[in-house]
């Protein structure tokens, strides 16, 4: 089964052609980073406009790169939410239009479910059940996954998402947008032990997260260390960001491992933009020294927003005969 997938939930326009929910024939992502960079974050109105400009060329490119025409496609999958409604509506309306015009089966996909399923694009995906951590710009949640469509949420952030914290700290230090990859890069040569930022563990057995405290601690640290006339030194900045990153990563790893232990599960899957973070990948992989744990990491390109992961989920539903109506709407929040 060939699925054409479209993703426009935030600031990346993505289209992919996926064979049998696993094999990528094409996966095209057009980033709007250059548009939003000067504002220090995503401007929703600009994001929608940019998606309108990009969606037709990106989908055309995905079909061409896969060497297929629309006639050979068996179904269409598109992100329905959660995300920015204006952005979602562009991809959704476009996908509904081609489904209507071509008479192809059509399915709306939950963006979180797509992130959690990105691991199935890898050569050796896990079998169910497993613990899935989604860490992105909008979400930080832990799930027990017993199959496609069979999810139990074990915990989630009570305030900021991890990626949001990375972006806010980078903005505060004037480092640019998106902050995650910038902090990741700078941290490689910083000292993660330079400053002991707080780790919010909440109650002992809680699998919820909180990142507003660590973000505020960085704000307070900056306040108590005013910028000298010549500006902060590169080393000072590197130490702050790597200490901040260490605090976030430590909590993410601790709670994810705790979730596996509580559920008596061996397999752990990471997903979402923050799962591209080098230090997080390194730290969670260290946990696989424990024979009771097995860690699965999607390639960084499958961690950040892409349409291939939407194709994985779309295929799983379409092949079971599940369809969405063409009246389907977009939702800024959509529980899994």
Among 4, 10, 25, 28, interactor with ligand KG4 by CB under 6 A: 10
List the interface residues with ligand KG4, window 167-186 (CB under 6 A).
167, 178-181, 184
CB nearer Zn ion, residue 113 or residue 305 = 305
> Does the footprint of ligand KG4 cover residue 113 (CB under 6 A)?
no
The nearest distance, CB 274 to ligand KG4, in angstroms, is 4
Q: Please state the three-class secondary structure of the chain as a single string.
A: CEEEEEECCCCEEEEEEEECCCEEEEEEEEECHHHHHCCCCCCHHHHHHHHHHHHHHHHHHHHHHCCCCHHHCCEEEEEEECCCHHHHHHHHHHHHHHHHHHCCCEEEEEHHHHHHHHHHHCCCCCCCCEEEEEECCCCEEEEEEEECCEEEEEEEECCCCHHHHHHHHHHHCCCCCCHHHHHHHHHCCCCCCCCCCCCCCCCCCCCCECCHHHHHHHHHHHHHCCCCCCCCCHHHHHHHHHHHHHHHHHHHHHHHHHHHHHHCCCEEEEECHHHHCHHHHHHHHHHHHCCCCEEECCCHHHHCCCCHHHHHHHHHHHCCCCCCCCCCCCCCCCCC
> Does the footprint of ligand KG4 cover residue 305 (CB under 6 A)?
yes
CB nearer ligand KG4, residue 265 or residue 334 = 334
In 3D space, the residue among 324, 303, 333 whose CA is nearest the CA of residue 95 turns out to be 324
Question: Which one of ligand KG4, Zn ion, none is in contact with 180 (Cβ closer than 5 to 8 A by kind)?
Answer: ligand KG4
Among 40, 108, 155, 272, interactor with ligand KG4 by CB under 6 A: 272
The nearest distance, CB 215 to Zn ion, in angstroms, is 20
Question: Which one of ligand KG4, Zn ion, none is in contact with 80 (Cβ closer than 5 to 8 A by kind)?
Answer: none
> Does the footprint of ligand KG4 cover residue 82 (CB under 6 A)?
no
In 3D space, the residue among 225, 218, 211, 220 whose CA is nearest the CA of residue 240 turns out to be 218
The nearest distance, CB 72 to ligand KG4, in angstroms, is 29
Which segment (71-79, 130-138, 228-236, 250-258) binds ligand KG4 by CB under 6 A?
A: 130-138
CB nearer ligand KG4, residue 164 or residue 208 = 164
> Does the footprint of ligand KG4 cover residue 209 (CB under 6 A)?
no
> Does the footprint of ligand KG4 cover residue 190 (CB under 6 A)?
no
CB nearer ligand KG4, residue 102 or residue 332 = 332
> Does the footprint of ligand KG4 cover residue 132 (CB under 6 A)?
no
> Does the footprint of ligand KG4 cover residue 247 (CB under 6 A)?
no
- Dist. CA 278–CA 166, nearest whole Å: 14
Count of residues of this chain found to bind ligand KG4 when the rule CB under 6 A is applied:
19
CB nearer ligand KG4, residue 75 or residue 179 = 179
Binding-site ranges for ligand KG4 (CB under 6 A): 10, 136-138, 163, 166-167, 178-181, 184, 272-274, 276-277, 304-305
């Amino acid at each position: 089964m060939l699925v054409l997938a479209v993703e426009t939930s935030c600031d990346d326009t993505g289209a992919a052609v996926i064979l049998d929910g696993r094999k990528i024939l094409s996966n095209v992502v057009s980033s709007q980073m250059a548009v939003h960079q000067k504002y220090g974050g995503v401007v929703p109105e600009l994001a929608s406009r940019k998606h309108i400009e990009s969606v037709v060329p990106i989908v055309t490119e995905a079909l061409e790169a896969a060497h297929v025409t629309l006639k050979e496609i068996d179904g269409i999958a598109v992100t329905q939410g959660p995300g920015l409604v204006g952005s979602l509506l562009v991809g959704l309306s476009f996908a509904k239009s081609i489904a209507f015009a071509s008479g192809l089966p059509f399915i709306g996909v939950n963006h979180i479910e797509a992130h959690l399923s990105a691991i199935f694009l890898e050569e050796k995906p896990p079998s169910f059940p497993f613990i899935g951590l989604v860490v992105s710009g909008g979400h930080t949640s832990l799930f027990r996954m017993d199959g496609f469509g069979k999810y139990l949420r074990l915990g989630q952030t009570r305030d900021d998402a991890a990626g949001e914290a990375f972006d806010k700290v980078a903005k505060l230090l004037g480092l640019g947008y998106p902050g995650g990859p910038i902090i990741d890069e700078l941290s490689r040569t910083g000292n993660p032990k330079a400053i002991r930022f707080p780790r919010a563990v909440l109650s002992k057995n809680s699998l919820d997260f909180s990142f507003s405290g660590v973000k505020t601690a960085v704000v307070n640290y900056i306040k108590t260390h005013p910028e000298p006339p010549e500006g902060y030194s590169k080393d000072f900045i590197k130490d702050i960001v790597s200490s901040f990153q260490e605090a976030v990563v430590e909590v993410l790893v601790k709670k994810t491992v705790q979730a596996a232990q509580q559920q008596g599960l061996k397999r752990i899957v990471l997903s979402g933009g923050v799962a591209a973070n080098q230090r997080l990948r390194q730290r969670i992989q260290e946990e696989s020294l424990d024979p009771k744990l097995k860690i699965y990491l999607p390639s960084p390109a499958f961690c950040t927003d892409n349409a291939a992961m939407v194709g994985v989920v779309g295929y799983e539903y379409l092949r079971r005969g599940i369809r969405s109506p063409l009246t389907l709407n977009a939702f800024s929040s959509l529980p899994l």
